[in-house]
Amino acid sequence: MSARPEERDRTRRPLSVLVPTLNEREMLPGCLESCAFADEVVVVDSGSDDNTVELARAAGATVLEHPFEGHAEQKNWGLEQVRHDWVLVLDADERVPEALRREIESHLAAPPRASGFWIRRVNTFLGRTIRGCGWQHDRVLRFFDRRAGRYETRRVHEEVVLDGAGTLEQALLHHSCRDLDTWLAKSERYARLGAEELHRHGRRIGTGDLWLRPPARFLKQYVAQGGFRDGVEGLLICAISAQGVFRKYARLRELEREGA
C-alpha cells in the first residue's frame, strides 16, 4: 500500500508502516486508509480467524503471518521485515489524522533531528473523547529509525528503547474502546500479564497492594487527573482501572502460591 506517485514527495526518506493484528476486521480498514501515504504498509498477523488478512490484502498491504510470542516480540520481528529504516508503528484501532500526516511527511523531507519521535494520543472511549483520567498525558514512541532502537521485551506496556527522541506536535487518534466486553477482556488480560511481569522480577504481594492500591488508583484518575469531567465514561474508565489493579495483585498472589 502506498500513496499515488503524484502525491508522494520523491525527495523525502521512505516510510514503512507496521501494523500488528489479531481479528481486527472492524478497525483495520480505517487504520490502513489513514496511513495510505506511506511507501509500504506491512500487517503482521498472529492467526486471525476472521477476514482481517483478506481485508489487509485488499487494501494493498503486505501481509505476513507470525505466531504471537508477546507484543514486543511481535513488533521487533516485524521491524526486521519492513523495507525502509523509518517506521511508523500503529495498532489497528489508531488513525493518522491529516495534520499528523503532514507533520510526519515534513520530518521525512528534512534532515533528521532525532532518531525517533513521541506522538501524543487523543483517546476515545465508547464514542466519547476523553480529556481526563490521566489519558490527557498519553503519548507513544511510534515514529522512529528502526536502526536506532527496538522494543523492550516485557509483557505489558512495551515501548521502544532509543536515545534522543523528540516529540511531534500533532496527535494520533486512538479508538481505545468500542464496547465494554472488549474493554473488560483487555483489562483482565493486562492484569494477568502485569502479574506475570511482577512475578518474573521477584515481586511479592503485600496486604497494602490489595487494600490500598486499587482505591488509590481510582482517586488518582477520577479526582487528581480529572476523570470526573468525562461523565459516565470517565467513571467507567477509573472504576475498571481500579478493578484491574486489584486483579493484577490477586493474580500475583496466585502465582506466588503456585510457586511455593
Alpha helices in 22-97 (DSSP H): 28-34, 52-58, 71-81
Q: For residue 223, give the C-alpha cell.
A: 479526582
CA distance 67 to 65: 7
Q: Three-state secondary structure along 207-245? A: HHHHHCHHHHHHHHHHHHCCHHHHHHHHHHHHHHHHHHH
Its CATH architecture, for the domain 5-177, is: Alpha-Beta Complex (3.90)
Task: Say yes or no to pLDDT of 153 above 90.
Answer: no
Q: Are 221 and 244 in contact (CB under 8 A)?
A: no
Between CA 129 and CA 194 the distance in angstroms is 26
Q: Is the pLDDT score of 6 beyond 90?
A: no
Q: Could you read off the pLDDT of 66-97 as tens digits, one per residue?
A: 999 888 999 999 999 999 999 999 999 999 99
Domains of the chain: which residue ranges?
5-177, 180-259
Averaged pLDDT, 45-60: 95
pLDDT at 163: 86
pLDDT at 241 over 90: yes
The tens digit of pLDDT for each residue in 123-150 reads: 999 999 999 999 999 999 999 999 999 9
Cell numbers that stand for 133 in this block: 483520567
Which pLDDT band, with edges at 50, 70 and 90, does 122 fall under? very high
Bridge pairing between strands 165-177 and 94-95: antiparallel
- Check if the beta carbon of residue 138 is closer than 8 Å to that of residue 124: no
Whole-number Å distance between alpha carbons of 54 and 32: 13
pLDDT greater than 80 at residue 113: yes
Mean pLDDT of the chain: 93
For residue 9, the model assigns a pLDDT of 57
Mean pLDDT is lowest, of 80-84, 89-93, 171-175, 201-205, for: 201-205
